[in-house]
């Protein structure tokens, strides 16, 4: 049986007593998530499905050649105007409401710092991406969870403690679920909290979902909507580390921009130029569509394969993205298939998030391990 090596902070909280740590820093130390990249088994005994690898993306069309001029200047505070225009066309927010960030993570940090303070109640999906609740608690807010839209509606019908903010992953990490935004719109329209803000996290590939109907819903929600997204993942280049924050709420956007001015993270001109060229390259964008189709096929193969070895996987019909979330992974762990532990995302300690965006060799080894039922 594979077991995770628990990551331990080598010193106790008492040893920090003489250092000027804030209560927030102390809370972060107490809420350690564990080091999910250490195991007590030899690497050749496991198949690592914790995260995506470059081999999956290498079969995309070749990257364009950038001129040296792409190195030669800063991009401006918000980002390259042409790149802002591409994002604007996709999500329906004007250029002057879009801020380029160093990955979606920085965008999420900026938004939480601007909107969350002591007493703020934030509704998060369950299971949830760990950065959500850690940032909320770091900023002094309180987290409440919803499993589905019915849960979310119940949060708004209670007399006290209704959410000030609602976070929706689209798709969600780790489950890949895509919530119907029309239902979110209906819930918010019935809420007596007219100041409730919806944070829509567009971190994972969804260009096939961002159609005219979706943009219409987003336009109706514009008076309470803040979007955070990953340009790198949309382009299937996670290492590009480009993201964005977008909103038509001018006061919120100005606060985000002011906070960004004091950030030491500056999305480089080269990365933005690369993203701009890729977005304009029809062959490259077509290859992304093929990769997404391959991922959907792998979702189906993976579910069928694990059901053959006796694993019951809760199927989410409209799941998108890189991952499958298996609620009882004990059989798969015994077969040496390693993902990110479920207690990172929820209290489901037997769960595991498996990434399917891996190279062909690793994927074939995964299917072979499942087929042969080889316990290690």
- Annotate 281-340 with DSSP letters as a single string: -HHHHHHHHHHHHHHHHHHHHHHHHHHHTT------TT--SSEEEES--HHHHHTTEE-E
The residues that bridge with 339 in the sheet, in sequence order, are none
Indicate the CATH number for domain 13-59+284-372.
3.90.1150.10
How do the domains of the chain map onto residue ranges?
13-59+284-372, 68-279
Candidate CATH numbers 3.90.76.10, 3.40.50.970, 3.40.640.10, 3.30.70.20; the one for domain 68-279 = 3.40.640.10
**What is the CB-side half-sphere exposure of residue 73 using CA atoms within 13 A?**
8
Measured distance CA(364)–CA(174) in Å, rounded: 23
| 98 phi and psi angles, rounded to 5 deg | -125, 130
From the first residue on, what is the mean pLDDT of each consecutive set of 10 residues in the chain (376 residues)?
Answer: 36 50 65 52 75 79 66 72 90 92 92 94 93 90 92 84 90 89 86 80 73 86 92 86 93 92 75 88 86 89 89 74 89 91 85 92 93 69
Max Cα distance, the chain (Å): 60
Q: What is the model's pLDDT at position 3? A: 37
Cα 54 from Cα 176, distance rounded (Å):
21
In b/e form, how buried is each residue of 99-117, taking b as 16+ CB within 10 angstroms? bbbbbbbbbbbbbbebbbe
pLDDT confidence of residue 192: 62
Smallest CA-to-CA distance from 37 within 50, 20, 22, 55 is with 50
Beta bridge partners of residue 230, listed in sequence order: 243
In degrees, rounded to 5, the angle at the alpha carbon of residue 95 between the alpha carbons of residues 106 and 210 is 75
pLDDT value of position 91: 87
* Whole-Å CA distances, 234 to 90, 183, 206, 230: 11, 25, 7, 6
The H or E element containing residue 230 is: strand 225-230
Q: In which residue are the tokens 């995964």 written?
A: 366
User: The whole model's pTM is what?
Assistant: 0.85
The three-class DSSP label of residue 351 is coil
pLDDT for 48 equals: 92
pLDDT of residue 2: 37
Query: How many residues make up the chain in this entry?
Result: 376
What stretch of H or E contains 155? helix 149-157
């Amino acid at each position: 049986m594979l077991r995770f090596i628990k990551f331990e902070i080598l010193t106790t909280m008492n040893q920090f007593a003489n250092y000027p740590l804030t209560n927030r820093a102390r809370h972060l130390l107490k809420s350690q998530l564990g080091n999910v990249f250490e195991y007590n088994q030899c690497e050749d005994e496991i198949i690592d499905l914790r995260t995506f690898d470059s081999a999956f993306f290498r079969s995309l069309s070749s990257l364009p050649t950038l001129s040296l001029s792409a190195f030669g200047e800063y991009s401006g505070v918000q980002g390259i105007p042409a790149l802002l225009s591409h994002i604007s066309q996709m999500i329906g927010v004007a250029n002057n409401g879009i801020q380029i960030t160093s990955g979606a993570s920085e965008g999420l940090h900026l938004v939480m710092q601007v909107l969350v303070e002591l007493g703020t109640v934030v509704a998060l999906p369950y299971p949830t991406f760990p950065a959500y609740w850690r940032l909320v608690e770091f900023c002094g807010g309180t987290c409440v969870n919803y499993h589905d839209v019915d849960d979310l509606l119940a949060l708004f019908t209670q007399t006290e403690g209704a959410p000030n903010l609602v976070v929706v992953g689209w798709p969600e990490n780790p489950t890949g679920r895509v919530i119907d935004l029309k239902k979110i719109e209906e819930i918010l329209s019935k809420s007596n909290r007219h100041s409730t803000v919806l944070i829509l996290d567009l971190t994972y590939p969804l260009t096939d979902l961002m159609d005219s109907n979706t943009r219409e819903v987003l336009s109706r929600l514009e008076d309470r909507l803040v979007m955070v997204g990953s340009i790198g993942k949309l382009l299937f280049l996670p290492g590009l580390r480009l993201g964005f924050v977008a909103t038509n709420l001018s006061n919120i956007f100005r606060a985000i921009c002011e906070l960004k001015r004091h950030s030491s993270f500056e999305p480089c001109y080269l990365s933005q130029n690369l993203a701009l060229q890729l977005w304009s390259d029809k062959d490259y964008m077509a290859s992304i569509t093929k990769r997404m189709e391959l991922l959907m096929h792998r979702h189906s193969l993976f579910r069928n394969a694990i059901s053959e070895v006796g694993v019951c996987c809760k199927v989410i019909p409209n799941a998108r993205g890189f991952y499958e979330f298996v609620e009882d992974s004990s059989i798969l762990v015994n077969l040496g298939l390693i993902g990110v532990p479920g207690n990172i995302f929820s209290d489901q300690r037997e769960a595991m998030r498996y990434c399917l965006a891996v190279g062909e060799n690793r994927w074939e080894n995964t299917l072979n391990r499942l087929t042969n039922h080889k316990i290690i």
